[in-house]
Amino acid sequence: MRFLIFVLSSLTALIVAAPLAEPGTDLETRASIDTGTHCGTWDTVQAGQYSLNLNQWGINGATGSQCAGLKSLSGTTVSWWTTWSWSSNGGVKSFTNIQLNTNLNKKLSAIKSIPSTWNWSYSSYSMTADVAYDLFTSNSAGGSHVMEVMIWLANINAGPLSTSYPAKPIASNLSIAGKSWNLYEGPNGNTKVFSFLPTSGRYTSFSGDINLFLQYLVQHQGVSSSEYLTTAQGGTEPFAGSATLTTSSFSMSIN
Protein backbone atom coordinates (compact mmCIF):
# COMPACT_ATOMS: atom_id res chain seq x y z
CA MET A 1 0.00 0.00 0.00
CA ARG A 2 2.85 2.40 0.87
CA PHE A 3 4.45 1.62 -2.53
CA LEU A 4 1.19 2.41 -4.33
CA ILE A 5 0.81 5.71 -2.44
CA PHE A 6 4.43 6.61 -3.35
CA VAL A 7 3.83 5.91 -7.04
CA LEU A 8 0.61 7.93 -7.11
CA SER A 9 2.29 10.81 -5.27
CA SER A 10 5.18 10.77 -7.75
CA LEU A 11 2.83 10.79 -10.72
CA THR A 12 0.90 13.69 -9.23
CA ALA A 13 4.11 15.65 -8.74
CA LEU A 14 5.15 15.01 -12.36
CA ILE A 15 1.80 16.18 -13.67
CA VAL A 16 1.90 19.34 -11.56
CA ALA A 17 5.49 20.05 -12.61
CA ALA A 18 4.84 19.53 -16.32
CA PRO A 19 4.75 22.80 -18.32
CA LEU A 20 1.36 23.81 -19.61
CA ALA A 21 0.89 24.87 -23.23
CA GLU A 22 -0.68 28.18 -23.99
CA PRO A 23 -4.28 27.84 -25.18
CA GLY A 24 -4.32 26.68 -28.79
CA THR A 25 -0.57 25.99 -28.83
CA ASP A 26 0.85 22.79 -30.29
CA LEU A 27 3.92 21.99 -28.19
CA GLU A 28 5.17 19.45 -30.72
CA THR A 29 5.06 22.06 -33.47
CA ARG A 30 6.88 24.57 -31.28
CA ALA A 31 9.58 22.07 -30.43
CA SER A 32 10.14 20.83 -33.96
CA ILE A 33 11.17 24.04 -35.75
CA ASP A 34 14.75 24.78 -36.69
CA THR A 35 15.92 27.83 -34.70
CA GLY A 36 19.47 27.77 -36.03
CA THR A 37 21.23 30.58 -37.87
CA HIS A 38 21.15 30.36 -41.67
CA CYS A 39 23.28 32.44 -44.02
CA GLY A 40 23.08 30.68 -47.40
CA THR A 41 21.97 32.67 -50.41
CA TRP A 42 18.90 30.51 -51.03
CA ASP A 43 18.42 28.88 -47.61
CA THR A 44 14.83 27.91 -46.73
CA VAL A 45 13.61 26.78 -43.30
CA GLN A 46 10.18 25.23 -42.75
CA ALA A 47 7.94 26.23 -39.84
CA GLY A 48 4.42 24.82 -39.90
CA GLN A 49 2.44 26.52 -42.67
CA TYR A 50 5.33 28.92 -43.32
CA SER A 51 8.83 28.91 -44.71
CA LEU A 52 11.63 31.35 -43.93
CA ASN A 53 13.38 32.26 -47.19
CA LEU A 54 16.69 34.13 -47.25
CA ASN A 55 16.26 34.90 -50.97
CA GLN A 56 19.45 36.90 -51.49
CA TRP A 57 18.69 37.41 -55.15
CA GLY A 58 20.49 40.75 -55.68
CA ILE A 59 23.90 40.24 -54.07
CA ASN A 60 25.99 39.95 -57.24
CA GLY A 61 28.65 42.65 -57.10
CA ALA A 62 27.78 43.56 -53.52
CA THR A 63 30.00 43.30 -50.46
CA GLY A 64 28.49 42.07 -47.23
CA SER A 65 26.46 39.27 -45.70
CA GLN A 66 23.07 38.39 -44.29
CA CYS A 67 21.80 35.73 -41.92
CA ALA A 68 18.35 34.85 -40.59
CA GLY A 69 16.59 32.44 -38.29
CA LEU A 70 13.35 31.42 -36.69
CA LYS A 71 12.70 32.15 -33.01
CA SER A 72 9.42 30.40 -32.27
CA LEU A 73 6.18 29.02 -33.70
CA SER A 74 3.05 29.10 -31.54
CA GLY A 75 -0.01 27.89 -33.39
CA THR A 76 -0.02 29.98 -36.56
CA THR A 77 2.12 32.81 -35.13
CA VAL A 78 5.80 32.79 -36.00
CA SER A 79 8.67 34.98 -34.82
CA TRP A 80 11.93 35.42 -36.72
CA TRP A 81 14.91 37.71 -37.31
CA THR A 82 17.43 38.71 -39.94
CA THR A 83 20.73 40.56 -39.60
CA TRP A 84 22.47 42.11 -42.59
CA SER A 85 25.32 44.36 -43.62
CA TRP A 86 25.59 45.38 -47.28
CA SER A 87 27.58 47.93 -49.23
CA SER A 88 25.69 49.88 -51.84
CA ASN A 89 25.63 48.71 -55.43
CA GLY A 90 22.51 50.67 -56.22
CA GLY A 91 19.88 48.00 -55.70
CA VAL A 92 18.01 45.58 -53.47
CA LYS A 93 20.21 42.80 -52.10
CA SER A 94 17.59 40.35 -50.86
CA PHE A 95 14.03 39.79 -49.78
CA THR A 96 14.38 37.67 -46.66
CA ASN A 97 10.82 36.76 -45.78
CA ILE A 98 8.24 34.54 -44.16
CA GLN A 99 6.13 32.87 -46.83
CA LEU A 100 2.67 31.38 -46.37
CA ASN A 101 2.42 27.99 -48.08
CA THR A 102 -1.25 27.04 -47.60
CA ASN A 103 -4.50 27.89 -49.44
CA LEU A 104 -2.72 29.61 -52.32
CA ASN A 105 -3.65 29.49 -56.02
CA LYS A 106 -7.16 30.79 -55.41
CA LYS A 107 -8.89 33.25 -57.73
CA LEU A 108 -9.12 36.70 -56.22
CA SER A 109 -12.90 36.43 -56.53
CA ALA A 110 -12.86 33.31 -54.34
CA ILE A 111 -10.85 34.81 -51.48
CA LYS A 112 -12.98 35.93 -48.55
CA SER A 113 -10.25 37.33 -46.33
CA ILE A 114 -6.50 37.26 -45.62
CA PRO A 115 -6.19 38.14 -41.94
CA SER A 116 -2.66 39.02 -40.90
CA THR A 117 -0.76 40.48 -37.97
CA TRP A 118 2.83 41.68 -37.98
CA ASN A 119 4.79 43.26 -35.14
CA TRP A 120 8.38 44.15 -35.93
CA SER A 121 11.28 46.43 -35.08
CA TYR A 122 14.57 47.46 -36.69
CA SER A 123 17.73 48.00 -34.64
CA SER A 124 18.67 51.07 -36.70
CA TYR A 125 17.12 53.37 -39.27
CA SER A 126 20.44 54.79 -40.49
CA MET A 127 20.37 52.55 -43.56
CA THR A 128 18.27 51.94 -46.66
CA ALA A 129 15.58 49.26 -46.65
CA ASP A 130 11.88 48.56 -46.63
CA VAL A 131 9.57 46.26 -44.68
CA ALA A 132 6.71 44.94 -46.78
CA TYR A 133 4.17 42.29 -47.61
CA ASP A 134 4.75 40.92 -51.11
CA LEU A 135 1.98 39.22 -53.10
CA PHE A 136 2.03 37.82 -56.63
CA THR A 137 -0.81 36.89 -58.96
CA SER A 138 -1.01 34.86 -62.16
CA ASN A 139 -3.53 34.18 -64.90
CA SER A 140 -3.51 30.49 -63.91
CA ALA A 141 -2.90 28.49 -60.76
CA GLY A 142 0.86 28.30 -60.28
CA GLY A 143 1.49 30.24 -63.50
CA SER A 144 3.90 33.05 -64.34
CA HIS A 145 3.53 36.31 -62.44
CA VAL A 146 1.43 39.05 -64.02
CA MET A 147 1.08 41.33 -61.00
CA GLU A 148 3.02 42.08 -57.82
CA VAL A 149 1.40 43.86 -54.88
CA MET A 150 3.67 45.28 -52.20
CA ILE A 151 2.27 46.68 -48.97
CA TRP A 152 5.10 48.64 -47.38
CA LEU A 153 4.93 49.01 -43.62
CA ALA A 154 8.14 51.05 -43.71
CA ASN A 155 10.00 53.05 -46.31
CA ILE A 156 13.45 53.61 -44.82
CA ASN A 157 15.30 55.99 -47.15
CA ALA A 158 14.17 53.90 -50.13
CA GLY A 159 11.32 54.25 -52.63
CA PRO A 160 8.85 52.22 -54.69
CA LEU A 161 8.86 51.31 -58.36
CA SER A 162 7.08 54.01 -60.32
CA THR A 163 6.32 55.08 -63.87
CA SER A 164 7.91 58.45 -63.06
CA TYR A 165 10.84 59.65 -60.95
CA PRO A 166 10.70 61.16 -58.48
CA ALA A 167 7.90 58.73 -57.76
CA LYS A 168 4.39 60.14 -57.72
CA PRO A 169 1.40 58.23 -56.30
CA ILE A 170 -1.48 57.31 -58.58
CA ALA A 171 -3.83 57.53 -55.56
CA SER A 172 -3.33 59.26 -52.22
CA ASN A 173 -4.62 59.03 -48.66
CA LEU A 174 -6.38 55.71 -49.13
CA SER A 175 -7.94 54.34 -45.95
CA ILE A 176 -7.46 50.55 -46.02
CA ALA A 177 -7.26 48.13 -43.10
CA GLY A 178 -7.44 50.96 -40.61
CA LYS A 179 -4.39 52.86 -41.90
CA SER A 180 -3.60 55.51 -44.53
CA TRP A 181 -1.71 54.73 -47.75
CA ASN A 182 -0.43 56.21 -51.00
CA LEU A 183 -0.47 53.92 -54.04
CA TYR A 184 2.29 53.75 -56.66
CA GLU A 185 2.49 51.81 -59.93
CA GLY A 186 5.54 50.75 -61.91
CA PRO A 187 6.93 47.92 -64.05
CA ASN A 188 9.28 45.13 -63.04
CA GLY A 189 10.02 43.53 -66.39
CA ASN A 190 6.71 42.19 -67.67
CA THR A 191 5.13 42.30 -64.22
CA LYS A 192 2.98 45.25 -63.14
CA VAL A 193 3.82 46.33 -59.59
CA PHE A 194 1.43 48.13 -57.26
CA SER A 195 3.01 49.47 -54.06
CA PHE A 196 1.02 50.75 -51.09
CA LEU A 197 3.14 52.99 -48.82
CA PRO A 198 2.23 54.70 -45.53
CA THR A 199 1.22 58.30 -46.12
CA SER A 200 3.63 59.16 -43.29
CA GLY A 201 5.78 57.38 -40.76
CA ARG A 202 6.06 53.62 -40.31
CA TYR A 203 3.61 50.93 -39.26
CA THR A 204 5.59 48.73 -36.87
CA SER A 205 2.39 47.04 -35.72
CA PHE A 206 -0.14 45.89 -38.30
CA SER A 207 -3.33 43.88 -37.88
CA GLY A 208 -5.78 43.75 -40.74
CA ASP A 209 -7.19 42.03 -43.80
CA ILE A 210 -4.70 41.93 -46.68
CA ASN A 211 -7.53 41.03 -49.04
CA LEU A 212 -8.84 44.60 -48.74
CA PHE A 213 -5.82 45.79 -50.74
CA LEU A 214 -6.47 43.25 -53.48
CA GLN A 215 -10.16 44.15 -53.61
CA TYR A 216 -9.28 47.84 -53.89
CA LEU A 217 -7.15 47.06 -56.95
CA VAL A 218 -9.98 45.01 -58.48
CA GLN A 219 -12.54 47.74 -57.88
CA HIS A 220 -10.45 50.83 -58.69
CA GLN A 221 -7.35 49.89 -60.71
CA GLY A 222 -8.70 47.46 -63.30
CA VAL A 223 -7.19 44.27 -61.84
CA SER A 224 -9.08 41.16 -62.92
CA SER A 225 -10.76 39.17 -60.15
CA SER A 226 -10.06 36.02 -62.18
CA GLU A 227 -6.33 36.29 -61.44
CA TYR A 228 -4.92 33.73 -59.00
CA LEU A 229 -3.04 34.59 -55.82
CA THR A 230 0.11 32.46 -56.08
CA THR A 231 2.48 33.94 -53.47
CA ALA A 232 2.00 35.65 -50.09
CA GLN A 233 5.03 36.79 -48.09
CA GLY A 234 6.20 39.36 -45.59
CA GLY A 235 9.82 40.46 -45.32
CA THR A 236 12.46 43.13 -45.76
CA GLU A 237 14.44 44.43 -48.72
CA PRO A 238 17.84 45.83 -47.69
CA PHE A 239 19.68 48.17 -50.05
CA ALA A 240 22.68 49.35 -48.03
CA GLY A 241 23.86 49.71 -44.45
CA SER A 242 23.65 47.41 -41.44
CA ALA A 243 20.73 46.46 -39.21
CA THR A 244 18.73 43.68 -37.57
CA LEU A 245 15.03 43.18 -38.22
CA THR A 246 13.21 41.38 -35.42
CA THR A 247 9.67 40.12 -35.96
CA SER A 248 8.13 39.39 -32.57
CA SER A 249 4.95 38.02 -34.18
CA PHE A 250 3.70 37.33 -37.69
CA SER A 251 0.60 35.47 -38.80
CA MET A 252 -1.26 35.13 -42.06
CA SER A 253 -3.98 32.89 -43.47
CA ILE A 254 -6.08 32.79 -46.63
CA ASN A 255 -9.82 32.13 -46.33
Q: Structurally, how many domains does the chain consist of?
A: 1
Q: Catalytic pick from 22, 185, 227, 237?
A: 237
Residue 237 belongs to some domain of the structure? yes
Residue 89 belongs to some domain of the structure? yes
Q: Are 119 and 107 in contact (CB under 8 A)?
A: no
Per-residue model confidence as pLDDT tens digits over 193-217: 999 999 999 999 999 999 999 999 9
Kind of pairing between the strands at 171-176 and 115-122: unpaired
Residue 122 belongs to some domain of the structure? yes
| CATH number, domain with residue 224 | 2.60.120.180
Buried b (16+ CB within 10 A) or exposed e, 137-158: bbeeeeeebbbbbbbbbbbbeb
Residue 221 belongs to some domain of the structure? yes
Residue 9 belongs to some domain of the structure? no
> Could you tell me the pTM of the whole model?
0.88
Per-residue model confidence as pLDDT tens digits over 132-151: 999 999 999 999 999 999 99
Residue 120 belongs to some domain of the structure? yes
Residue 10 belongs to some domain of the structure? no
Average pLDDT of adjacent 10-residue blocks, the chain of 255 residues? 37 36 42 91 97 96 96 97 90 97 98 98 97 98 97 96 90 98 95 97 98 98 98 98 98 98
Find the domain containing 191 and state its range. Answer: 25-252
Determine whether 148 is an active site residue: yes
Q: Catalytic pick from 28, 148, 185, 227?
A: 148
Residue 102 belongs to some domain of the structure? yes
